[in-house]
Amino acid sequence: MTSYPHLSKAPIAEAVLDIRVEVADEEIQQQIESFHEKIKGEYPEKKKKNTIQAHVDLEEKSVTSRNDVTGFQFFSQDGKNVFQVDLDGVTVNRLKPYEDWGTFLTRAKKLWEMYQQGFQITKIKRLALRYINHIPVKRGEDMDDYFTAPPRIPKDLPQVIAGYFSKTVFRNENKKIIGQVTQTSFESSPDCFSAILDIETIRTYEDNQGVNIWDDFEELREFKNRIFFASITDKTKGMLT
């Protein structure tokens, strides 16, 4: 496993660990809501997740809509830790300040074990690990100083970037992992803007024979780190160390 430098000023705004499953329970929506009792001590706040669907009938000249509950979000007292339980899986979120991988993984394992005890999981379909990084960039400085693959403007055009958005998806065939890198920006101060480096690594399954999800999450993390450090320059590493 490759060793990467420790970043004392890691720019992680949010870490996300996601597990998608198939569940046999028929009354899953009611079970999700009652599941809150098991974690209420650490996650006292609860919010519904809704999906609104609209149907337009041109012949009848009518519009009907449905508001379906697709899951619940459970929040810690300080709002930094979030556990989402949906009809087809769970998501563990940590908002900044990010602690460390060991703490984040231990929390995820505990919640997953409780979820396994409460629901009849028939298949694990997908694992994903996502880290959203906010990196400050001084206005007027060359993006090449910060990133190895920054957004580019054709040479004959003004070279001041006011904003950007790009998404790249690629595959690690050896590890059977998909990587997604989204780059965009938002205004943060008169002197700087925040460059968002959003990295997600994904593994999907046809069957679960021999699957150890925690070993697989370690591989997703390794690939995520590889993408991150390949995306930033030595200047950025120094700035974050």
The whole-number average pLDDT for the span 110-115 is 96
**What pLDDT score was predicted for residue 159?**
78
Q: What is the pLDDT of residue 182?
A: 98
The residue assigned the tokens 């993006």 is 143
Measured between alpha carbons, how far is 218 from 202 in angstroms, rounded to an integer? 12
Quote the pTM value: 0.91
Does the structure show a pLDDT above 80 at 165? yes
- Whole-angstrom distance, CA of residue 200 vs CA of residue 228: 10
What is the model's pLDDT at position 161? 79
Q: Tell the burial category of 34 from Cβ atoms under 10 Å away from its Cβ (0-12, 13-18, 19+).
A: exposed
Q: What is the mean pLDDT of the chain?
A: 91
Element spanning 195, H or E: strand 192-204
Other beta carbons less than 10 A from residue 108's beta carbon: 23
pLDDT at 34 (0 to 100): 86
Q: What stretch of H or E contains 34? A: helix 28-39
* Greater model confidence, 160 or 75: 75
- Of the chain, the percentage scoring pLDDT greater than 70 comes to 92
Residue type, 152: R
Residue 81 CA to residue 104 CA, distance in Å, equals: 10
Residues 27-82: pLDDT tens digits?
A: 777 788 889 999 999 999 999 887 766 666 577 656 666 657 788 999 999 999 99
Looking at residue 124, its pLDDT comes to 96
- Give yes or no for a contact between 231 and 197, defined as CB atoms under 8 angstroms apart: yes
Q: Omega into 151 within 30° of 0, i.e. cis?
A: no
Residue 16 CB neighbour total at 10 angstroms: 18
* Alpha carbons 186 and 192: distance in angstroms, whole number: 10
Give the pLDDT confidence score for residue 30 in this predicted structure: 79
